[in-house]
Amino acid sequence: MNLSVDLIFKIAAIGILVSVLNQVLIRSGREEQAMMTTIAGIVVVLFIVIQLISDLFTTVKTMFQLY
Amino acid sequence: MEIFKIAAIGIIATIFSVMLKNQKPEFSLHISIITGLLIFLFILSKLASVLEVFNTLAQKTNIDTVYIITILKIIGIAYIAEFGAQVCRDAGENAIASKIELGGKVLIMVLGIPILIALLDLIIKLIP
């Protein structure tokens, strides 16, 4: 198992992108679309996080024989 | 060395987390979760070899495997409960974090009861 930093970079990039888009959309007076962008970004990041969490849980389960 | 990798990842993730905190706090939480998970998975792969040695040692000394499996299960529950509680505490939800810890404690107690019963049986057998 190697330590991969690119996941952190990916999430930080999504976060920066979403916050920039959010500000641009709010400045141009589209609050609803800004909200939608935020939610979409959160869902995308949540998928990555959930995948990694399930990976961790299966690893711990098999290692410590927790069934 | 692995510790440099872990420390570097922690520092990088902290910088990103602080950068995003006043714009979008939820992304900063995600970054902290991912960092914790990455470091945790990395450590677990190191821990596997230690557990192997532990198992062979137990087989050599003829300890009942039920006890070893119970100890391993307790350690696993403790790791997972600690991780979940720390994530919740990071996000400022102290109540949920203490509930997770309570759940972990109760499950550990349930697993530990057979060992306690075995100990009590032994004591009763020793007392004539």
* B64-110 residue pLDDT tens: 778 888 888 898 899 899 989 998 998 889 999 999 999 999 999 99
Cα→Cα distances B77→A28, B48, B100, B103, B117, Å: 50, 16, 11, 10, 21
Q: Are residues B82 and B28 in the same domain?
A: no
User: What contacts B41, CB < 8 A, 6 or more positions away?
Assistant: A1, A52, A55, A56, A59
Q: Least CA distance to A4: which residue of chain B? A: B38
This model of the complex carries an ipTM of: 0.76
State residue B47's pLDDT score: 86
Range of the domain at B16: 1-47
Contact between B36 and B79 (Cβ < 8 Å)? no
Question: For residue A51, is it within any domain?
Answer: yes
| Number of independent structural domains in chain A | 1
Residues B15, B77: contact at Cβ < 8 Å? no
Contacts of B37 in chain A (CB under 8 A): 49, 52-53, 55-56
Count: domains in chain B? 2
* B92 & B35 share domain: no
Residue with tokens 């987390």: B17
pTM: 0.79
Residue of A nearest to B52 (CA): A63
- At B45 the pLDDT is 83
Domain-located, residue A16: yes
Is B95 among the domain residues?
yes
Instruction: Kindly give the interhelix angle for B2-21 and B25-60, rounded to the nearest 10 degrees.
Output: 160
pLDDT of residue A1: 53
Q: Buried b vs exposed e over A2-39: b needs ≥16 C-beta within 10 Å?
A: ebeeebbeebbebbbebbebbeebeeeeeeeebeebbe
Q: Does some domain include residue B53?
A: no
Indicate whether A1 belongs to any domain. no
Length in residues, chain A = 67
Is residue A36 included in any domain, yes or no? yes
